Structure 1
Amino acid sequence: MNVLIVFDHPYGASASENVPHQRSYSAALLASVMRGLTTKGHEIDLVDLHKDGFNPVMSSEELASWRQKTTIDPLVINYQQRLIAADHIIFIFPIWWEAMPALTKGFLDKVFAKGIVYEEIKPGRPFKCLLPNIKGVSLLTVMNTPDFFYRWIFGNPITKILFRGTFRKMGIRENLHWYNYTGMSNRSLDARVKYLDKTEQRFALL
């Protein structure tokens, strides 16, 4: 299976080791996911948005192109081709101000283009998905907000944006899974490692 991983953290994918001020639990999760996928022989296609220098801002020229169902940014074109080839998509990022970081939001805005990734059959109706191979989407997030507050007080904004407002709207309604890691900075090293081991095992079963 061809698994596309979209990773968003300023420290990059290499920041998975436990080095103070140079570490990212998001990157540690990425490493665990990749180990798990590798054990089953899945093909991994990693998009490291910060390393790629992805610009999340939609310019007026890009918006005009988007409305004409074309793309002018070569990196966005590359991302679209890789998205279309994917069997499964995994997003990994920290939650900031209850939502995804800017690069992931820009990835949705610019890469998920009408006429390329989805088609609007009729205004006000669900979209048609143009990703021919997609079988599911996994979301891994890291946050300091307690899980109870995020789910029941704030109302799960990230799943509303990414699942309900994006993939379900495109017609992908099954095999959407969210794995949330809260308060990792306050947990012991053993506890953090246990979560990483569990994540590796989970994605070895994908």
Structure 2
Amino acid sequence: MRVLVLFAHPVETSFQAALHAKVVTTLRAAGHDVDDLDLYAEDFDPRLTRAERLAYHDIPANRAAVDPYVGRVLAAEALVLVYPVWNFGYPAILKGFFDRVFLPGVSFKMVDGRVQTQLRNIRKMAAVTTYGGSRLRAFLVGDPPRKLVMRVLRAVTGLAVPVRYLAHYDMNRSTPESRAAFLAKVEQEMRTF
């Protein structure tokens, strides 16, 4: 399966970078064709420009500034996100990727004022993420990051698409043992992805 891995973390020595490396190497070892998109390494600009916003509903002109990224999304059969939760959301660079690349005519189309799913090429998804706070804290605020993946991304790929959400909570008090256990869990999940 052709898997697009979207990685969003600026520090190459972070635990998130270790998770990213584990995801990519395990998927490749399992025989998948991995397109490893490291948003920071590729210097992706998350800012939606005025011109892009004005052309947002002008298909295919809306793709002009991000066409190579659109091509990578449309070529994928699966999507794996690897990112930290910051302020109960995506890092800005990942949010900007969705704003600039998941465009009308790419991830959805408007038909009689209603949104219709477009990313039928994506047959499987996973998110590998870390939270600074506890699972209870995330639960008490409604866990918006989980909902972004489990609801919003599924809405543009189809509700029947299986999604795995792998989260290491409470990174602020994590231990070498808790991190090693989570890495092992991620490896197991990617082995059978």
TM-score normalised by structure 1 residue count: 0.85
2:149 aligns with: 162
Tell me how large the CA RMSD over aligned residues is.
1.7
Q: C-alpha deviations, 1:154-192, integer Å up to 9, x for none?
A: 112113333323432553443022111112353332331
Alignment of 1:136-147 (within 5 A): 136-147=124-135
Structure 1 unmatched ranges of 5 or more: 16-22
Specify the code of the residue in structure 2 equivalent to 1:116: V
Mapped pair 1:133 → 2:121: yes
Q: C-alpha deviations, 1:14-59, integer Å up to 9, x for none?
A: x2xxxxxxx2111111111122212211111011111111111111
Q: CA deviation at 1:112?
A: 0.3
Mapped pair 1:65 → 2:55: yes
Specify the code of the residue in structure 2 equivalent to 1:147: R
Q: How many residues align?
A: 191
1:117 aligns with: 107
Q: CA deviation at 1:133?
A: 2.4
3-state DSSP of counterpart to 2:56: helix
Name the stretch that deviates more: 155-164 or 97-106: 155-164
Q: Is the Cα contact below 8 Å between 1:126 and 1:170 reproduced in 2?
A: no
Specify the code of the residue in structure 1 equivalent to 2:51: E
Name the stretch that deviates more: 159-168 or 56-65: 159-168
Q: Which runs of 4+ in 1 moved over 6 A?
A: none
1:198 aligns with: 185
| Alpha-carbon separation, structure 2, partners of 1:109 and 1:53 | 16
| Alpha-carbon separation, structure 1, partners of 2:7 and 2:104 | 23
Mapped pair 1:55 → 2:42: no
| Alpha-carbon separation, structure 2, partners of 1:62 and 1:190 | 46
Name the stretch that deviates more: 34-43 or 80-89: 34-43
Specify the code of the residue in structure 2 equivalent to 1:49: L
Given candidates 158, 166, 170, the residue that maps to 1:183 is 170
Q: Is the Cα contact below 8 Å between 2:80 and 2:125 reproduced in 1?
A: yes
Mapped pair 1:8 → 2:13: no
Name the stretch that deviates more: 26-35 or 102-111: 26-35
Name the stretch that deviates more: 31-40 or 98-107: 31-40
Q: Is the Cα contact below 8 Å between 1:3 and 1:44 reproduced in 2?
A: yes
Distance 1:48 1:196, change over 3 A: same
Distance 1:32 1:170, change over 3 A: closer
Structure 2 unmatched ranges of 5 or more: none
Q: Is the Cα contact below 8 Å between 1:127 and 1:171 reproduced in 2?
A: no
Specify the code of the residue in structure 1 equivalent to 2:16: S
